[in-house]
Amino acid sequence: MKNVFIKFVLLSLTLVLNSCSPDNTTKNLVNPTEDLSIVYVAGNKNGHACYWNDNQLVMLDSGTFTNTSAEKIIVVNGDVYVFGSGSSNNIYKSLFWKNGVLTNLTNQFSTNSYSVSVTDMNVIGNDVYFVGFTYPIPFDNNGPSSLVYWKNNVKNIVTNYPDSIFTQSRIDVVNNNIYILGAGNMNFPSTRGYYVNNVYNEIPNTDLYGITVNKNNNDVYVFGAKYSANSSYYKNLTNGTEILIPNSLGVEIDIDFDENNNTFVGYSNKIFKNGTLVFDGSAYINSRVYDFQFLNNNTYKMTFFGVNGTSPSCSLDINETNVMQAATGEAFISFFVVQN
């Protein structure tokens, strides 16, 4: 599961949207005769990081941290990897759990000379990847920084910047090639290109929000907005094909592909299939599409909206049937599907 995070979800936003949780229904209600894949949902409950394994709540150890949140979850070979955040004395910390064991990534990856901010995680086989930035100590807003990734806790410098860069870099690994979203070695914070094995490829006049992989053929895509053309934008990095969608604000959520290789593009509150609108939440209050995925001929969609003046709430639908619903004090942020 790509579980890419949307552009506007900054490091603190997931601690604010605390309104999404599962109820007591199960996915078996979708089709009682069919054994659907297991869905893991990452989030928080009453300010404490947690996840749900097929509606079963699992609280994560928050240690001494406050306002902890699980923001991304990946399950490989039965091991549960969770990336998230928390606060210590009002200072943001990057956190990680493997099978419930808490690690303070900020402390683990920092040294006496630099501090770190981790922005994404991925797990490929037995290898765990993190990507983020390092900043010298003491911190200088106009000082240098570095885009780095860690493979199994070993640091690799992608590029050095002359000043501080703040952006949501993403990482994915396909056929042993490491793809990282990031700015070039220039003075702006926007993510206007990507690295493949530390080699920078600029896409001018764009802002890139995420990376995704077509599970049907392993083609790698980046997506975002091309402001010079007032268009949403995505590019197939495997064959170089670029797609512009005019008069739109940007592919903010994700791109995914079903078994028939139809292309689904997600905006803030809409989903298009091959350019045709198939979900429209714009009529709802504060509506958002969080994430969606197509797997084994099943459709998974996480949305957030209010109806007829009600407070916004979040739900997870499978094949257009609601299976998880918001409750006060609980939030879920992303999901991961494990195939049976």
- Please give the model's pTM, rounded to 2 decimal places: 0.86
Mean pLDDT throughout 260-286?
82
First-to-last alpha carbon distance for the chain, in angstroms, is 14
Phi, psi of 157 (to 5 degrees): -85, 125
Mean pLDDT throughout 36-54?
91
Residue type, 327: A
Buried b (16+ CB within 10 A) or exposed e, 219-231: bbbbbbbbeeeeb
Q: In what order do the strands lie in the sheet with 48-53?
A: 56-59, 48-53, 38-45, 330-338
Which of 190, 183, 182, 178 minimizes the C-alpha distance to 154?
Answer: 178
pLDDT at 306 over 50: yes
Using CA atoms, how far residue 90 sits from 64, 97, 169, 215, 319, in Å, is: 12, 21, 23, 40, 41
Mean pLDDT throughout 117-132?
96
pLDDT top residue among 58 and 224: 58
Delineate the domains of the chain, giving CATH numbers in brackets.
13-338 (2.130.10)
- What pLDDT shows up at residue 320? 86
Mean pLDDT throughout 259-277?
85
- What pLDDT shows up at residue 26? 36
Which pairing describes strands 154-161 and 145-151: parallel, antiparallel, or unpaired?
antiparallel
Question: Cβ distance 49 to 60 under 8 Å?
Answer: yes
Convert the pLDDT of each residue in 82-91 to its tens digit: 999 999 998 9
Distance from C-alpha of 160 to C-alpha of 37, rounded to nearest angstrom = 42
Convert the pLDDT of each residue in 61-80 to its tens digit: 999 999 999 999 999 999 99
Looking at residue 330, the DSSP 8-state letter turns out to be E
Convert the pLDDT of each residue in 133-189 to its tens digit: 999 988 887 788 999 999 999 999 999 988 887 778 999 999 999 999 987 765 555
Which of 17, 22, 6, 4 minimizes the C-alpha distance to 318?
Answer: 22
Distance from C-alpha of 28 to C-alpha of 289, rounded to nearest angstrom = 23
Residue 107: strand, helix, or coil:
helix
Convert the pLDDT of each residue in 208-254 to its tens digit: 889 999 999 999 999 988 877 778 889 999 999 998 877 666 667 78
Convert the pLDDT of each residue in 107-116 to its tens digit: 999 999 999 9
Distance from C-alpha of 151 to C-alpha of 166, rounded to nearest angstrom = 21
- What pLDDT shows up at residue 191? 63
Mean pLDDT throughout 101-106?
97
